[in-house]
Amino acid sequence: MPSRLYVLYSALNPSAQTEVILDTPARCSHCGSVPAPFFETHAVKLKAKRIPHRSIGQRYRIEKRMLVRLPLCEACYLNDFLSTPDSYAFDTTPQGKEARRTTTLAGIAGVTASLGIIMLTPFIPAVGILAAVKPYWYVLLIAGVTLLIVTWLLQQRSQKAVRAELARIRPVGSQFRRADVWSIAVDGDLTPTDEIVEIHMPNEDWANECANLNGWRIEQSR
């Protein structure tokens, strides 16, 4: 049964103030193996000091991205990459580099194809220089679609290499899925005892040991 683990503000990395690294216990949060030199990364937003009567826009004076990292062994790290590659964009590993490249190329492809479609519509008047460019809307559309296909092929090649490496290390995959992580907004000033992160951990044993070692609150999910 999953557990709900509540992380205190004191766990935030004092140097960067943007990372919470849960490396205690120092074993894989999925399978429990050692060593666990990789991380399952979750990007959430730290929110504190609520602005009174604010209904739209920024509702807290402090709103910044925070990375929550849970320890993983190499096999579980590679296994997760096959199912959630987008979540690796903040990692410095080869998989992180691949995730960033895929996101960038997909974004460029989408913008290029969208421009081609927009050029086709009457919203773009055929006047001035646009009169010469507008008839070639299909070039942008083809370029965007082609880049999207190339991006997909590169991603498939990368995942094929990961599958081969995973089959060599541990073909059975991970025992548990990724955790679910949310930030907890703090109304006033941040103090070391404020709970800022809630983690739904599928690995109950790891969550319980983490809570006991760090002195954090833990509840059993229903």
Q: Which of 55, 170, 151 is nearest to 159 (CA)?
A: 151
Largest CA distance in the chain: 70
Q: What is the pLDDT of residues 180-215, one digit of tens each?
A: 999 999 999 999 999 999 999 999 999 999 999 999
Supply the pTM of this predicted model. Answer: 0.87
Q: What mean pLDDT, rounded, does the chain reach? A: 91
Q: Give mean pLDDT, residues 59-83.
A: 94
Assigned token pair, 44:
């959430």
Most confident of 84-88, 115-119, 121-125: 84-88
